[in-house]
Structure 1
């Protein structure tokens, strides 16, 4: 997921040292990957409302990060006259503005529709407030968010992991997690051309994930790091 505009970050709201220790004991193969990569360094951006975080996610979908960042900035700047410099537009602002304003910022027709649907469903309560989300299970959050146009299960799972700091999310459809799993547990070689049949299946991942509960988010993070290692990337000192 894109990072928050403020640049401020904080640690996840769970005991990451305990998570690493328990995962390493429960799954020695994963433990070797953890030892090879090193510390769990995931940081969460400064808290945003679900509306702001999901609006940003919609803008970033299927667009290069630099282009998405520019579109997002232009969109926010276009509302300075109504909500002040540096402030994110509210759902009401999005619904009240003309389509031309959003299109001029660089949003496609489909993303404009998705952003308006997100705004409407935030106002009617389909998208819960942050306070309500904190009292909901992961599946309850996903069930609510996927009702928004342009928000699928994967986007909701990324919000849970990288914005809300939920510790036990396993994004089964994520390409990087599936590839990292194959590299770590299924014998996929870093130099092999990856074809769909070489990636981990949902069944394989769910079976192994029984060892990872309640720390699937941490295990998933290390699956992404397995992909980094295969690509020759090393952890920052």
Structure 2
């Protein structure tokens, strides 16, 4: 079985203090919850596949499929997955559409047509734009790559249902408009990703 290398998102007391100073409700929640270790996947290809697997399904289902893929294929690398057929990938429990996308991206990365390492030199918005040129990758998936692989510090995803649910719970809203979301996102800046880590936790409480 392959084991995808993981680490925890790197942040410290400075970020927590900064967020607490601009948002007392978030500050109280952070104090109550303590430090949250957000496990991320530094390898861009594995993280991208992981994000595609997680599109529109529960976190629990995503974990199951991800574990099956590692048992089935070993290391989650472009060359390894390019050798599989979309049928083989689909058998891990995902839709055929996702399996085809993952296979195409693996082939593209293995042949050097799409160079993931080039993303490190780009700004957040440029990364999103470039990654969205890949079949099956939308803005949410690109934003998850920014947080869960690249550790970019200031990402809050409107497309993430759990983040929006966390905001609603934290501030006592029944609904959340894009305008309200943007106000909170700007308030958290430049530490939006750390706010996201806590909003995820709040949404599942």
Q: Which runs of 5+ in 1 are unaligned?
A: 77-85, 189-197, 230-237
Confirm whether residue 112 of structure 1 aligns to residue 88 of structure 2: no
Residues 211/5 of structure 1: CA separation in 2 closer, same or farther (3 Å cut): same
Q: 1:128·1:144 contact (CA, 8 Å) conserved in 2?
A: no
So what's the TM-score if we normalise by structure 1? 0.72
The alignment yields a C-alpha RMSD, in angstroms, of 2.7
Q: Which runs of 5+ in 2 are unaligned?
A: none
Structure 2 counterpart of 1:71, from 65, 68, 73: 68
Residues 124/25 of structure 1: CA separation in 2 closer, same or farther (3 Å cut): same
Supply the distance in 2 between the matched residues of 1:107 and 1:173 (Cα, whole angstroms).
21
After TM superposition, the structure 1 = structure 2 runs for residues 31-46 of structure 1, keeping only pairs within 5 Å, are: 31-45=27-41
More helix by share: 2
Q: 2:85·2:103 contact (CA, 8 Å) conserved in 1?
A: no
So what's the TM-score if we normalise by structure 2? 0.82
Residues 59/200 of structure 1: CA separation in 2 closer, same or farther (3 Å cut): same
After TM superposition, the structure 1 = structure 2 runs for residues 74-223 of structure 1, keeping only pairs within 5 Å, are: 74-76=71-73, 86-91=74-79, 93-106=80-93, 108-122=95-109, 123-129=111-117, 132-185=118-171, 187-188=172-173, 198-223=174-199
How many residues are matched?
200
Supply the distance in 1 between the matched residues of 2:107 and 2:18 (Cα, whole angstroms).
42
Structure 1 counterpart of 2:46, from 48, 52, 56: 52
Q: Rg larger in 1 or in 2?
A: 1
